[in-house]
Structure 1
Amino acid sequence: MTEKKVISRYLNKLSVFSTVAVMASAFTLAGCTSEVSVQPASDEKVKSVSMSTNDTNVIYIVMDDTGFSDFGSYGSEISTPNIDRLADNGLRYNNFHATPVCSPSRASMLTGRNNHAVGMGQVANFDYGEEYPNRRGEIAPEAGTIAEVLGENGYVNYALGKWHVAPTHEITPAGPFHNWPLGKGFHRYYGNLEDSSDQYRPELTRDNSSVPMPEKEDYHYSEDIVEKAQQYVVDQVSMRPDQPFFINLSFGAQHMPHQVPKEYIDAYDGVYDEGWDVIRQQRFEKQKELGVIPKDAKLAPSNPGIIPWDKISEEKKSVYTRFQETYAGFLTHTDEQIGKLLETLEETDELDNTMIVLISDNGASSIGGENGSTNQTIAYNTLTETFEDVEKKADLLGSESVAPDYPAGWAQVSNTPFQKYKNSMYGGGIRTPLIVHWPEKITDKGEVRNQFVHVSDITATVYDVLGISPPKTIKGIKQMPITGISFADTFDDAGAVTKKKTQYFEMSGNRMIYHDGWKAISVHTKGKPFEQDTWELYHAEKDFTELNNIADKQPQKLKQLVNLWEKEAKANNVYPLTDNFLNALGNLPPDNPRARKTFVYHPEMSHLGESATPLILNRSYEISIPVTHSKEDEGVLLALGNDKSGYTFYIQDNKIVYEYNTGVTRYQIVSEQELPEGELAVQFIFEKTAANQGVGNLLINGTEIGEVEMKTLPFKTSFEGLDIGQDLFYPVSPAYAKLGEFPYAGDIGKVTYEFEEASISTLQ
């Protein structure tokens, strides 16, 4: 950083302090002795702004579902030159631990505290109800985020990309907004609030408002958020060069859907023809060469269900390799975007004094199953696509026509050298890359650090190196202690003793505890009492990939760790435990905003995210749509979803059509007679007859015009939300796919959803 810029920042902070002091003096002279309105939200603000001369910028780059070995600097054959540049000029950590799924990792990273303690015991899509206060999908206000803290210390804060730490039922055009980025300390936000995003047609939010998809040829979401990040940086250093910034840049990559232009996929043609067993072994050997893993580390055996490559047919090999070529191309494309941001930092003279932290929020996902998946909804609902179905769409991988995830065999490669995957307590679920790049402070460039680090330690480290003491109160709310522990001493000391002695883990009833080089992992069977769990014991300090279970040989050590887990769990609000996972998506506790018997939507309503729409899964319901119709009027009356799954009501050729697409089967009711003109009461009545199935009836003015027996999706209807009078983003029905948004030409009245009961429980 130039001397001029340092002086400018210092003088600006003196100016801020002087302004506050002058205003306070003016109030005193006027006879006002009570606390004045210019007082900061916390007692520490004036002191930190006036005394600190810290000008270091901070950037968090968060990858999604990216395995330990996926970067070139961690042993991969995938081209990631910009990420590797960060590693070569910074530090790589090989003993970093995230939580097994995304929302808890993000909540922990943003707050510097354990995820259950701040209220994020599960992903933000799930609301387990008031009996599970640690699993309601939001960060407690007692756990201020790094943006809130840095904002009180003179920083400008920007968030871009995936958020996913607000209850997804709150993602509505009317909020509430207190859990959105601007409600958590960020000054600007641009990205997607949900768990994942289509890369070509994302549901975007800018600050507190939804925005239409940019009309740009060859649009890609990863490119878009980085372009916005570049703009934020340039604007900041141009207008306020004296003020440091914090950026939270969170990619949708490498979460499904894996979507990237074809040229990136074709760049890996032939690279994976030898198959996942060979590639995994090659990565393992490369990791040893790079020093990313110890020389005596053992490669975990193949995970259950992974078929050896030499036992797979040539037809399947061809399709499976195309999935991995797509995944690799997607990652290279993401790396390219990171490179663009680095170029901007260099051009603005901000790179050297910017602390960049890059992680993956959890390990690689196996949800693609044996054959891989071309439809995100099918995979998410734990349904299976046959190989024949997948093969038909293999040439479309990477395009907007499919929403793919690769086969589990390739996810195993991503997690080399560990066993298991995302959502697991084993290394494949929680051991991910961590790179710290900070040219002004890191001198041991390119080295590997093996100290135990937890995702909660990252923000604690930032506070440490910036010399910031988190305030005791934020917005008048007393703050809980920061439980993360700084690992800043490892920046210049490879032999620094690990300060993080103990760290608990829990996800969906699966448990793990780390303590002083040892790990204990519970083995839980869903539905069984937790008291019946068995525990495995690993001396992680000597057993890098946790393969040698010595529970029988060290019973006292195991007992010590299990007791320690109990202590940590009680201290961090982990109880009560539950092993419910996807079925929690259908849980509507009484105080959930979706727990209503009646929903009434005006036709002018903005696009509504799927997770905030009326829950029609596995229950009876009615939908009423009043319209004023002329025989020339065509268009969509109501649509929820996209071309991968969802339901729609539309009028075409003066006939009304209802369609429900599971991604596997498309159900349809078409009126035989043309519609009369005038006022029409369109009504759809679904009667549940068994689990995830029932009978749907379509009526016009009280007269039944068609019936269909349907099997319905069990967990999530779609990854696109609800529109009235049009179908934004992807069309639900191919019948109007070439007609754009296909808005209805007539008038639509108030749309009503009716249910027999408001709240339902799926956690029994």
Structure 2
Amino acid sequence: MVCIMTHSREKKQMNVIYIVLDDVGYSALGCYGSEIKTPHIDSLASNGLRYNNFTVTPLCSPTRACLLTGRNCHSVGVGVITEIDWGPEYPNKRGKISDSAATLAQILQMNGYATYMAGKWHLVPGHESASSGPFDNWPLAKGFDRYYGFLLGMTDQYSPDLVYDNHRVEKPKEENYHLSEDLVDHSIHFLTDHLSVTPNRPFFLYLAFGAQHEPHQVPKPYIDCYDGIYDKGWDELRKERFARQQKLGIVPPTTELVDRNPGIKAWDTLTDDEKKLFVKFQQTYAGFLTHTDEQIGRLLTFLNDHNQLENTMIVLISDNGGSQEGNWNGSINDTAYFNGIEESVAEMLPHIDEIGGPYSSANYPKGWAQVANTPFKFYKQDTFYGGTHVPLIIQCPPAISDPGTVRSQFYHAIDITPTVLDLLSIQAPPMVAGVLQMPFHGVSMRNTFTKPTVPSNRHVQYFEMLGHRAIWQEGWVAVTYHTDGTPFDQDQWELYHVEHDFSQKYNVAKEYPEKLQELIALWWEQAKKYDVLPLDDHPYRKGYEGLQEGRTMFTFYPGMAHLPTAAAPKITLASYSITIPIFRSTSADQGVLLAHGNFSSGYTIYIKDNYVFYEYDYVGTVYQLKSSKPVPVGASVVSFEFRRELLMKGRGKLYVNDDVVGTIFMPRTLPFTISVEGMDVGQDRLTPVSKHYPTHHFPFTGKIEKAVIKILEAPFSKTPPARSIRIQVNETVFYV
């Protein structure tokens, strides 16, 4: 007789997926009151929970650091966006996650999980984003087995700066390419490999879209499906969203809609041209979000088809509220905002049909941003609820008792990862790679999955962003809007009893002065505890530049990978020279020698039809030089020299060998950011700086020995030295 013993297979550990949307305000999703079609995201809400009292930091990188580590952003070194490493004197703003705060990916990796990421990282210092590394702060070094996406805060949806694992790659060459589709393609590819070979191993997928951050870019049919929807304007749309929010129960019954933010015009007072342009901006945003929802739907279909949905926890959030970075009129040039430039309606209207396409980096005006943040006031970057209150949807079939309902407990991004580990019964390790770990600052939300009215485990939470500050405690919020250059002790704090005034409509500071002082004192206590200090309000700080710190000469060679702006030489507010020795075998050799930028702004040096050209694009105003004589066949040296005069003006000279072949006066140059797109040698890889190239990348067909950039004088300081003059360009301040 043969005895056969059977053993029940150990139940597979639950999979985890984080889906992070960018710049999606509290009301932007259909299941949070929007008219925008988001059926697949809405299905997550129907099968899971919506949280109506969930908060994040009001900026991209800090929220991502909170989400992945379960600790406050300043404590882990990510108090602001990571393009600028503020230097050793600001340990709270180093642009990278401290080794003492392991990410969820690292912890799950140590516990047998496969870990995959697709999309926006934004947790590496800008000077470390070049293809030469160092790679210590790239995704693979922070716990991910595979990675496909982009490293910094934004990229073009049609021509992105892509990284695969630890190296840059060209975008796929298929027609009608779009980054959001590509990110989901690679997510599905990673999971297909995983389920085919190691189906019993649990996985963690972190999918972070570039959407809805600008540039708002989406195929035209998605824009057209919102024809006529926004003609009634932002005042009426905000009221309609608020009414739906009340009906859906995602705002408390006593909530009141706040007034228009300061500076936003009543829709009925706008000109016909303003209305026409502003409607197109919002249609594009809406179409972009619907397109993103479709991609999420593709992932959900894949999971369902492979029997993974019932064993997967899905967390969907936005990293902050709707963005004010389109300024009052909206924007079609992504560099404008970062240089303090307001684009006029008259300048943008002739380009209205380009909005959403590959040669427009659209962003909507502030009026629509407040609609996105309904019922709240203010925006991304601000510590009012418009910047910090965002959607949170959690679908987790094995753990949630009443799907489709709303939870009202106050929580923060730092609470998500502790919740996941609690659900998985995984303890955070005390040491990772020999580094002692700081404790979690977040607490578990798990009990809300089965107890709708259980009190929150969170009792206090501070907020700080570029001097704006707030603190929540047990249903009260103290908040201050900081004006750049104002001493912090002169900021005017406001007080809101949000337990009864959900939208922060009524400032009760005068009625409860003792409560306000109590909360201000608590803010300083929390700031000290969580490394928020020292405070600083200068977003355009020069910062520490890693391997480039102190350098005035840079030599680049042909074949170099695309170099992000954050790692490229800083030529703004400085005199500089560019020298490029070349060899042309025949008079037919032509193409780009050096290019930095895209269709919004930047500069390029190229040879076309035997002549050398220099172009500088100041957000749509193009200065062009054509050499007065042809470039000789054989060896020659092409160079350009710019000598700054006064603040942002100067004179440029174009040389072939030692001969001056052109001069130009440039009355305006960009003060802070040349372009959000980086630099290439021998071609213009992503989107072209010049409209005059005969081909898209226009690669040089001759030989380039090298390209040498020299900084000929120190640029103006973007932080105040001991004796300085304060200069303001629109809303941007810097010091000379």
* TM-score normalised over the length of structure 1: 0.91
Contact 1:685–1:698 under 8 Å retained in 2: yes
Contact 1:378–1:664 under 8 Å retained in 2: no
Go from structure 1 to structure 2 and tell me whether the alpha carbon gap of 1:241 and 1:589 turns closer, same or farther (over 3 Å shift). Answer: closer
Answering whether residue 422 of structure 2 is matched by residue 467 of structure 1, we say no
Contact 1:508–1:579 under 8 Å retained in 2: yes
Q: Which residue of 2 aligns with 1:704?
A: 660
Q: Which residue of 1 aligns with 2:375?
A: 417
Q: Which residue of 2 aligns with 1:87?
A: 45
Contact 1:588–1:759 under 8 Å retained in 2: no
Cα distance in structure 2, aligned partners of 1:440 and 1:506: 36
Contact 1:619–1:688 under 8 Å retained in 2: yes
Deviates more, 1:553-562 or 1:506-515: 553-562
Q: Which amino acid aligns with 1:719?
A: V
Q: Which residue of 1 aligns with 2:526?
A: 568
1:614-653 matches, cutoff 5 A: 614-629=569-584, 630-653=586-609
Q: CA deviation at 1:604?
A: 2.2
Q: 2:186 aligns with which of 212, 228, 245?
A: 228
Cα distance in structure 2, aligned partners of 1:592 and 1:708: 33
Deviates more, 1:152-161 or 1:660-669: 660-669
Question: What are the superposed Cα offsets for residues 502-532 of structure 1, whole Å, 9 maximum, x if unpaired?
Answer: 1111110111111111111123221121111
Q: Secondary structure at the match of 1:616?
A: coil
Q: CA deviation at 1:666?
A: 0.5
Answering whether residue 673 of structure 2 is matched by residue 716 of structure 1, we say yes
Q: Which residue of 2 aligns with 1:206?
A: 164
Go from structure 1 to structure 2 and tell me whether the alpha carbon gap of 1:70 and 1:624 turns closer, same or farther (over 3 Å shift). Answer: same
1:413-492 matches, cutoff 5 A: 413-492=371-450
Question: What are the superposed Cα offsets for residues 380-428 of structure 1, whole Å, 9 maximum, x if unpaired?
Answer: 3221222122111111221112110112111111100000011011111
Cα distance in structure 1, aligned partners of 2:184 and 2:120: 12
Deviates more, 1:407-416 or 1:695-704: 695-704
Deviates more, 1:392-401 or 1:88-97: 392-401
Cα distance in structure 2, aligned partners of 1:713 and 1:416: 35
The percent of aligned pairs where both chains have the same amino acid is: 48
Q: CA deviation at 1:598?
A: 1.4
Deviates more, 1:654-663 or 1:548-557: 548-557
Question: What are the superposed Cα offsets for residues 81-135 of structure 1, whole Å, 9 maximum, x if unpaired?
Answer: 0000000111111111110110000011010000000000110112222211111
Cα distance in structure 2, aligned partners of 1:593 and 1:460: 38
Q: 1:502 aligns with which of 455, 460, 471?
A: 460
Q: CA deviation at 1:370?
A: 2.4
Cα distance in structure 2, aligned partners of 1:224 and 1:533: 45
Q: Which residue of 1 aligns with 2:565?
A: 610
Q: Secondary structure at the match of 1:109?
A: helix
Q: CA deviation at 1:7?
A: 5.8
Q: Secondary structure at the match of 2:692?
A: helix
Q: Secondary structure at the match of 2:40?
A: helix
Q: Secondary structure at the match of 1:649?
A: strand
Contact 1:169–1:594 under 8 Å retained in 2: no
Question: What are the superposed Cα offsets for residues 454-494 of structure 1, whole Å, 9 maximum, x if unpaired?
Answer: 01111111111111111111111111111111111111111
Q: Which residue of 2 aligns with 1:29?
A: none
Question: What are the superposed Cα offsets for residues 583-627 of structure 1, whole Å, 9 maximum, x if unpaired?
Answer: 22xx14375635411111122212211211111111111111111
Cα distance in structure 2, aligned partners of 1:659 and 1:136: 35
Q: Which residue of 2 aligns with 1:253?
A: 211
Q: Which residue of 2 aligns with 1:266?
A: 224
Q: Secondary structure at the match of 2:643?
A: strand
Q: Which residue of 1 aligns with 2:691?
A: 734
Q: How many residues align?
A: 712
Cα distance in structure 2, aligned partners of 1:757 and 1:675: 29
Q: CA deviation at 1:719?
A: 2.1
Question: What are the superposed Cα offsets for residues 718-750 of structure 1, whole Å, 9 maximum, x if unpaired?
Answer: 1221111111121211111x4132121221112
Question: What are the superposed Cα offsets for residues 274-323 of structure 1, whole Å, 9 maximum, x if unpaired?
Answer: 11111100000100000000111010100111111111223322222111
Contact 2:84–2:543 under 8 Å retained in 1: no
Q: Which residue of 2 aligns with 1:182?
A: 140
Go from structure 1 to structure 2 and tell me whether the alpha carbon gap of 1:224 and 1:591 turns closer, same or farther (over 3 Å shift). Answer: closer
Go from structure 1 to structure 2 and tell me whether the alpha carbon gap of 1:554 and 1:401 turns closer, same or farther (over 3 Å shift). Answer: same
Cα distance in structure 2, aligned partners of 1:758 and 1:210: 32
Cα distance in structure 2, aligned partners of 1:759 and 1:166: 25
Go from structure 1 to structure 2 and tell me whether the alpha carbon gap of 1:588 and 1:426 turns closer, same or farther (over 3 Å shift). Answer: closer
Q: Which amino acid aligns with 1:122?
A: V
Q: CA deviation at 1:760?
A: 7.3
Q: Secondary structure at the match of 1:320?
A: helix
Q: 1:314 aligns with which of 261, 272, 275?
A: 272
**Unmatched runs of 5 consecutive residues or more in structure 1:** 1-5, 11-52
Cα distance in structure 2, aligned partners of 1:441 and 1:340: 24
Answering whether residue 636 of structure 2 is matched by residue 680 of structure 1, we say yes
Q: 1:394 aligns with which of 319, 329, 352?
A: 352
1:506-655 matches, cutoff 5 A: 506-581=464-539, 583-584=540-541, 587-589=542-544, 591=546, 593-629=548-584, 630-655=586-611
Go from structure 1 to structure 2 and tell me whether the alpha carbon gap of 1:531 and 1:54 turns closer, same or farther (over 3 Å shift). Answer: farther
Cα distance in structure 2, aligned partners of 1:397 and 1:437: 35
Answering whether residue 15 of structure 2 is matched by residue 60 of structure 1, we say no
Q: Which amino acid aligns with 2:538?
A: N
Cα distance in structure 1, aligned partners of 2:8 and 2:641: 69
Q: Which amino acid aligns with 1:288?
A: Q
Q: Which residue of 1 aligns with 2:237?
A: 279
Go from structure 1 to structure 2 and tell me whether the alpha carbon gap of 1:86 and 1:528 turns closer, same or farther (over 3 Å shift). Answer: same
Cα distance in structure 1, aligned partners of 2:429 and 2:692: 57
Q: Secondary structure at the match of 1:406?
A: coil
Q: CA deviation at 1:78?
A: 0.6
Cα distance in structure 2, aligned partners of 1:595 and 1:67: 40
Contact 1:264–1:330 under 8 Å retained in 2: yes
Cα distance in structure 2, aligned partners of 1:359 and 1:337: 16
Answering whether residue 705 of structure 2 is matched by residue 749 of structure 1, we say yes
Cα distance in structure 2, aligned partners of 1:374 and 1:619: 27
Q: Which amino acid aligns with 2:273?
A: E
Q: Which residue of 1 aligns with 2:289?
A: 331
Cα distance in structure 2, aligned partners of 1:215 and 1:590: 34
Question: What are the superposed Cα offsets for residues 670-716 of structure 1, whole Å, 9 maximum, x if unpaired?
Answer: 11111223321222111121222222211222222222222111221
Q: CA deviation at 1:369?
A: 2.2
Cα distance in structure 2, aligned partners of 1:146 and 1:589: 28
Q: Which amino acid aligns with 2:642?
A: F
Q: Which residue of 2 aligns with 1:359?
A: 317
Cα distance in structure 1, aligned partners of 2:139 and 2:655: 43
Q: Which residue of 2 aligns with 1:41?
A: none
Contact 1:103–1:124 under 8 Å retained in 2: yes
Cα distance in structure 1, aligned partners of 2:481 and 2:377: 14
Cα distance in structure 1, aligned partners of 2:164 and 2:206: 15
Contact 1:306–1:409 under 8 Å retained in 2: yes
Q: Secondary structure at the match of 1:490?
A: helix
Q: Secondary structure at the match of 2:639?
A: strand
Contact 1:590–1:759 under 8 Å retained in 2: no
Go from structure 1 to structure 2 and tell me whether the alpha carbon gap of 1:743 and 1:107 turns closer, same or farther (over 3 Å shift). Answer: same
Q: Which amino acid aligns with 1:638?
A: L
Contact 1:62–1:361 under 8 Å retained in 2: yes
Cα distance in structure 1, aligned partners of 2:387 and 2:545: 33
Cα distance in structure 1, aligned partners of 2:524 and 2:326: 34
* TM-score normalised over the length of structure 2: 0.95
Q: Which residue of 1 aligns with 2:257?
A: 299
Q: CA deviation at 1:231?
A: 1.6
